[in-house]
A and B are shown apart, each in its own frame.
Chain A
Amino acid sequence: MRKCSLDTINAIFEAIAKTAKLYIPADDKDGSAVYKQWEEGVLWSNALNTVRSPKDFFFPQMETLMEFKTEGKNIEVIDTRSETEDFVIFGVRACDVKSFEVLDRVFLTEPVDSYYAARREKGVIVSTACAKPAETCFCKTFGISPEEPAGDISTWKTENEIFFKANTPKGEALLEKIAGLTEECDETAVDSQKEKIAKVMDKLPLKDLTTDGFGGGKTDEFFNHPAWDELSGSCLGCGTCTFVCPTCQCYDIKDFNTGNGVIRFRCWDSCMYSEFTKMAHGNNRLTQKERFRQRFMHKLVYYPENNEGLFSCVGCGRCLSKCPISMNIVKVMKKIGGKMSE
């Protein structure tokens, strides 16, 4: 374990930025945060988390897959893939770190998504423990410890210092690079920080929410639950929840006709959209209720069924604060079966 004074954090950023592109959460307007590429003057935000999740770094909202160039009646296929550069994302919260595991299981199992894999390989994740979680946080529900964030490097921020612990060879290599700016230390301060965090976690309003009852094999139990009507009744069908979600991984592949050819790209899609997975015969989820149900069944039942019980939600709380009508996974879980342990 190494540490440094928070006063020198910008020097640390500078050192990292010399070796790779560095992205840190920076203040955006209205008290929210956004990942920005570090440069002189970009400061680490005090906000709990970014509005957009860091999944963008591995699975961007839009990326070109390939291109076709047309000349008269001739078509030429162009591979647009280019070498991904090394990059570091700094200050990732425990929930978001966990989300990469969820995405990995989708994109890194056969057939491997080479676009995703390339970025994953080049990216170093530096996580940060959460000292001040929000009321919308419920990562504990999914077994995530905000006091013990994973990632290539874990960090803890105290009043004046920041502590680093490498978890992987990638992390160790990066720590090595900033060794000159940090000093070796023991874990006492971090332990007390962890304790503090654990205490705060016990005060959270959603601390008692559990996944009991959900998981693989529960399709029949929940699929025709009468509460779906009511829950989905006010859903506007926008894609906010899916687009701010760190684990939503659905995309659409589309062609853009440039006039001189075609760009084949993929972009995020949302199961909340009426056009989602539309096929030649039409759409297999006909109403908003079915689309709504799909999203939550996927997170709470289908995904764990295929992934050894891992839920496709990390309790980051983004959808809780961003849904225009404040409908969210917590309300769904409470209504259709997630039990509150007493």
Chain B
Amino acid sequence: MQTITKQQLLDKADSLLANGTVTAVLGWSKGEFGYDVTPKMFTTKEDLEQNFVWNDFCGVNFSKYLVSKTDRFEGKILVFLKPCDTYSFNQLLTEHRFDREKVYAVGIPCEGMVDVSKLKAATGDGISEIKEDGDNLLVTTIYEDEPATVPCRDVLLERCINCKSKKHVAYDELLGDEGEIIDSARFDEVAQIEAMTPDERFAFWQNELSRCIRCNACRDACPACTCEKCVFDNPNSGVENKAPANSFEEKMFHIIRAYHVAGRCTDCGECSRVCPQNIPLHLLNRKFIKDINEFYGEYQAGAEVGSRAPLVDYTTDDLEPGEVFDRRDMDA
């Protein structure tokens, strides 16, 4: 259901490789079952033709790869960026995490990406082939003779259901049509939790965070987490740990992780997408975003390069920490 075709991306990649604008292409390579695409640096036309893929499963946010890849490759890298990826792209530039000159960014429209676990819940296990048919996916499994028809919109990733922007905020070149910033309902779930009693909130998070296996996927996939040395890996930081020893450490890890990206998180949703335990980690980040918006005025990290994140900024008449709760109690 993507509006832009794989062929359009391939043509763009081929021509930029051929004319020497770029020496490598950061794209998706196909997997075994249609949905398991893997990011890959392509350097030849042949490789692109054989393995490049663009479909409803290309959720991976490439921005973070630029931090390590721009060092490893001579010349420019072509990177395909979906609208949400461009926010991370800008945020990383704001933080001087890669050299803009070494990247050729091609913005591509995105109609939303599919959540594989939702898809599997709809079709059952045993997927052998996935075909696109307009706004639907035709999914063949080894158990059924006829492919199942699944509307894409029923199995979108959470972040795509609540997409905040179809507009690219950074690119060298745009393929397809530019979209708009969307007034999404992305804070509704946060508001629902806020409306719970403290006991309910505690129980909710206790249940969610106790499932954490501390695989670090959320951190390692997060485009805001590009620290040279993460505090959780640093024995001198005082918070280093490898396993959630108890409920305190589960909470601490997620509080600090969210705090460290507060004001820098673009809400790209990679954390929740990659969590093997389906913990809704984005809610923690969104809580910070929602608070920051409410306390200090609307701020979208990555909307522009060089913006000053609210937590490294202030005004003389900011609200007091205590007023945070007064305000909420008043609203209630």
To the question of whether A and B form a pair in one complex, the answer is yes
Q: How many residues of B contact A (CB 8 A)?
A: 46
> Among A135, A136, A238, which residue has its beta carbon within 8 angstroms of that of B221?
A238
- Tell me whether A200 and B31 are in contact (CB under 8 A): no
- In angstroms, how far is the closest chain A Cβ from the Cβ of B101? 22
A330 to B36, CA, bound (A): 12
- In angstroms, how far is the closest chain A Cβ from the Cβ of B161? 14
CB of B245 closer than 8 Å to a CB of A = yes
List the B side residues contacting A200 at CB < 8 Å.
142-143
A320 to B276, CA, bound (A): 11
> Among B36, B40, B117, B126, which residue has its beta carbon within 8 angstroms of that of A32?
B117
- Tell me whether B40 and A267 are in contact (CB under 8 A): no
A234 in contact with B217 given A135-B142, A326-B31 (CB within 8 Å): no
- Tell me whether A267 and B245 are in contact (CB under 8 A): yes
Q: Restricting to A245-297, which residues have a CB under 8 Å from any CB of B?
A: 252, 254, 256, 265, 267-270, 273-275
A268 to B38, CA, bound (A): 26
- Tell me whether B221 and A236 are in contact (CB under 8 A): yes
- Tell me whether A325 and B125 are in contact (CB under 8 A): no
CB of A132 closer than 8 Å to a CB of B = yes
CB of B184 closer than 8 Å to a CB of A = no
A331 in contact with B213 given A62-B243, A135-B126 (CB within 8 Å): no
- Tell me whether A239 and B278 are in contact (CB under 8 A): no
Q: Restricting to B131-165, which residues have a CB under 8 Å from any CB of A?
A: 141-143
A237 to B221, CA, bound (A): 9
- In angstroms, how far is the closest chain B Cβ from the Cβ of A141? 13
CB of B274 closer than 8 Å to a CB of A = yes
- In angstroms, how far is the closest chain B Cβ from the Cβ of A320? 7
- Tell me whether B217 and A324 are in contact (CB under 8 A): yes
> Among A30, A206, A273, A325, which residue has its beta carbon within 8 angstroms of that of B39?
A325
CB of A306 closer than 8 Å to a CB of B = no
- In angstroms, how far is the closest chain A Cβ from the Cβ of B248? 11
Consensus secondary structure, chain A interface: loop
A316 to B278, CA, bound (A): 19
- Tell me whether A326 and B242 are in contact (CB under 8 A): no
List the B side residues contacting A205 at CB < 8 Å.
32-33, 128, 142
- Tell me whether B126 and A133 are in contact (CB under 8 A): yes
List the B side residues contacting A84 at CB < 8 Å.
none
CB of B220 closer than 8 Å to a CB of A = yes
CB of B193 closer than 8 Å to a CB of A = no
- Name the residue on B nearest A334 (C-beta): B32
- Tell me whether B245 and A256 are in contact (CB under 8 A): yes
A230 in contact with B40 given A205-B128, A324-B273 (CB within 8 Å): yes
- Tell me whether B276 and A134 are in contact (CB under 8 A): no
List the A side residues contacting B125 at CB < 8 Å.
48, 132-135
List the A side residues contacting B31 at CB < 8 Å.
326, 331
| Mask: chain B, 79-97; 1 = CB below 8 Å from A; 0 = not | 0000000000000000000
| Mask: chain B, 187-201; 1 = CB below 8 Å from A; 0 = not | 000000000000000
- In angstroms, how far is the closest chain A Cβ from the Cβ of B243? 3
A270 to B215, CA, bound (A): 9
Q: Restricting to A218-247, which residues have a CB under 8 Å from any CB of B?
A: 230, 233-234, 236-240, 242-244
- Tell me whether B36 and A237 are in contact (CB under 8 A): no
- Name the residue on B nearest A48 (C-beta): B125
List the A side residues contacting B116 at CB < 8 Å.
321
CB of B231 closer than 8 Å to a CB of A = no
6 contacts between A and B (CB under 8 A): A31-B120, A134-B126, A135-B142, A205-B32, A242-B215, A326-B38
Binding site for A on B (CB under 8 A): 31-33, 35-41, 60, 65, 116-118, 120-121, 124-128, 141-143, 211, 213-217, 219-221, 233, 241-245, 270, 273-274, 276-278
Known contacts A200-B142, A331-B31; can you find 20 more A-B pairs with CB under 8 A?
Answer: A29-B278, A30-B118, A30-B278, A32-B278, A48-B125, A51-B277, A61-B243, A62-B244, A133-B126, A134-B125, A134-B126, A135-B141, A204-B142, A205-B32, A233-B40, A244-B276, A256-B245, A320-B36, A325-B38, A325-B39
Binding site for B on A (CB under 8 A): 28-32, 34, 48, 51-52, 61-62, 132-136, 200, 203-206, 230, 233-234, 236-240, 242-244, 252, 254, 256, 265, 267-270, 273-275, 320-322, 324-328, 330-331
